[in-house]
Amino acid sequence: MPIVLDEVAFDYPDGTPAVESVSLRVEDGERVAIVGQNGAGKTTTVKLMNGLLKPRSGAVMVDGESTADRTTAMMAQTVGYVFQNPDDQIFTSSVQSELEYMPKYLRWEEARRDERVARAVALCGLAQHLETNPNDLPIAIRKFIAIGAILVGECRYIILDEPTAGLDVPGLRLLNSLIDHLQSEGIAVVTITHDMRFVTESFDRVVAMANGTVVADGPCEEVFADDDVLKRARIRRPEVAQLVRDLGIPTAALRLDDIVHKIP
């Protein structure tokens, strides 16, 4: 069952529209990247997906039910949202207690809790940090703690807000293997990012937003080939894709491994 946004509008508290007539659909196990300038409506769109925000008009349906009828706490069991700034999310004094917080709150049985926590620890590479206070760890590891705390839940959709900001090479590798794993379990991954290399290397579908509306939604190859869309959403091609474009090499390839074979 998908997430469906149908002609959704939402206003900021001061009355200015944040998103206007946004329609999109996220299927099980899909990977979708939402891109666009700061202030384009990306974060509002994903907060509508998990019910943190309710639409002014239009409907958001998750697994066939309107988010308007469900509490944020109920929604959090289905659509997990990992904040851009891990410090907005982390609040306990050890990595272990951060990961166990939700299952304890929901009074899960110990076996179920331990299994889910162990899975999150493995996927997020947190084994050696369990006793540590998250505040004593670098931001890259705090980002994985924030992801891990959401993965403990049994969400079928995971939203990652700017996951690559501040990550180094090993962190990126871990993030990519984590996304692969989630997809293998049929979990959909939606990301918001400014990192176009990440988009094209790790996502198949891209939604470009500008001024609160969707200006393009389709396969990366299609969206990044369209100069008009790039201009309207004020986004760039990844560096190597722009390079082949500059050289006039006729290819829609975006990934480095594909482009290498297009260079004469």
Partner 1 sequence: MVLATLRGVSFTYAYTNEPALRDINLTLEEGLLYAIIGPNASGKSTLCALLRGIVPLFHEGELKGTAEIRGRNLLEWDPAELSREIGYVFENPFTQISGIKETVFEEIAIGLENLGMPSEEVIDRVEKVVEQLELGALVAKNPNELSGGQRQKVAFASIIAMDADVIVIDEPTSQLDPESSDAVFAIIANLKKSGKSIVLVEHKMDLVAQYADRVIALNGGRVVIEGPTSEVFTSPLLNASDIARPAVTDLAEALVHVGRPLSRTPVTRADAAELIRARMKGGPRANRSR
Q: Closer to partner 1 at the Cβ: 64 or 248? A: 248
Q: Closer to partner 1 at the Cβ: 190 or 230? A: 230
Secondary structure (DSSP) of 185-228: TT-EEEEE-S-HHHHHHH-SEEEEEETTEEEEEEEHHHHTT-HH
Closest distance to partner 1 from the beta carbon of 109 (Å): 36
| Contact footprint for partner 1 (CB under 8 A) | 36-39, 84-85, 138-141, 165-172, 194, 196-197, 234-236, 238-240, 242-243, 246-247, 256-257, 259-261, 263-264
Q: 248-254: long-range contacts (C-beta < 8 A, 24 or more apart)?
A: 252/221, 252/222, 252/224, 252/225, 253/221, 254/200, 254/220, 254/221, 254/224
d(CA 33, CA 26) in angstroms, rounded, equals 11
Q: Closer to partner 1 at the Cβ: 108 or 198? A: 198
Provide the residue count of the chain: 264
Q: Closer to partner 1 at the Cβ: 69 or 131? A: 131
Closest distance to partner 1 from the beta carbon of 4 (Å): 28
Closest distance to partner 1 from the beta carbon of 264 (Å): 5
d(CA 23, CA 214) in angstroms, rounded, equals 8
Closest distance to partner 1 from the beta carbon of 208 (Å): 12
Q: Closer to partner 1 at the Cβ: 76 or 167? A: 167
Q: Closer to partner 1 at the Cβ: 62 or 199? A: 199
Closest distance to partner 1 from the beta carbon of 239 (Å): 4
Closest distance to partner 1 from the beta carbon of 170 (Å): 6
Cβ partners under 8 Å of residue 94, min gap 6: 130, 131, 132, 133, 134
